[in-house]
C-alpha cells in the first residue's frame, strides 16, 4: 500500500480548528499530538517537505524540525518518493519475516 493521493480528506486535523496547528512555543507540542494517530501523517509530512512549507505543524513536525531535516538531507529531491520506497521496503520485511 502506497501513500494516499487524497490524503487531506483523511487527515486527523481535518475537522478541527486549523489555527491549532499554527502556534508557537510549547503549544506546538499540543499540535503535534494531533498528528500522532493520524492515518496520513507521512503524506502530510512529505507534502510539507516537498513544498517547503514554512509555517505550522505538518506531519507531526514543527517548522524548525522540518528545516533541520531539509538541511541534513539536501540530496532528497522527493520526500514523497522516499517515504513510499521506505513503506514498500517495510512491507517486504514484514511479509518475509511474518
Could you tell me if 55 and 63 are in contact, meaning their C-beta atoms sit under 8 angstroms apart?
yes
Residues of the chain with pLDDT > 90, as a percent, come to 80
| Mean pLDDT for the stretch of residues 63-68 | 98
**Domain boundaries along the sequence of the chain:** 7-97
| pLDDT recorded at residue 93 | 82
Q: Residue 30 in contact with residue 16, Cβ under 8 Å? A: no
pTM value? 0.88
- Residues 11-51: tens digit of each pLDDT: 999 998 989 999 999 999 999 999 999 999 999 999 999 99
CA 63-61-80 angle, to 5 degrees, is 100
Amino acid at each position: 500500500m502506497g501513500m494516499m493521493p487524497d490524503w487531506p480528506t483523511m487527515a486527523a486535523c481535518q475537522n478541527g480548528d486549523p489555527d491549532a496547528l499554527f502556534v508557537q512555543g510549547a503549544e506546538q507540542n499540543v499540535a503535534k499530538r494531533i498528528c500522532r494517530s493520524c492515518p496520513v501523517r507521512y503524506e502530510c509530512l512529505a507534502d510539507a517537505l516537498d513544498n517547503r512549507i514554512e509555517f505550522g505543524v505538518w506531519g507531526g513536525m514543527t517548522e524548525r524540525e522540518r528545516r533541520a531535516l531539509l538541511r541534513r538531507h539536501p540530496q532528497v529531491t522527493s520526500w514523497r518518493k522516499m517515504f513510499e520506497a521506505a513503506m514498500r521496503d517495510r512491507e517486504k520485511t514484514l511479509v518475509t519475516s511474518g
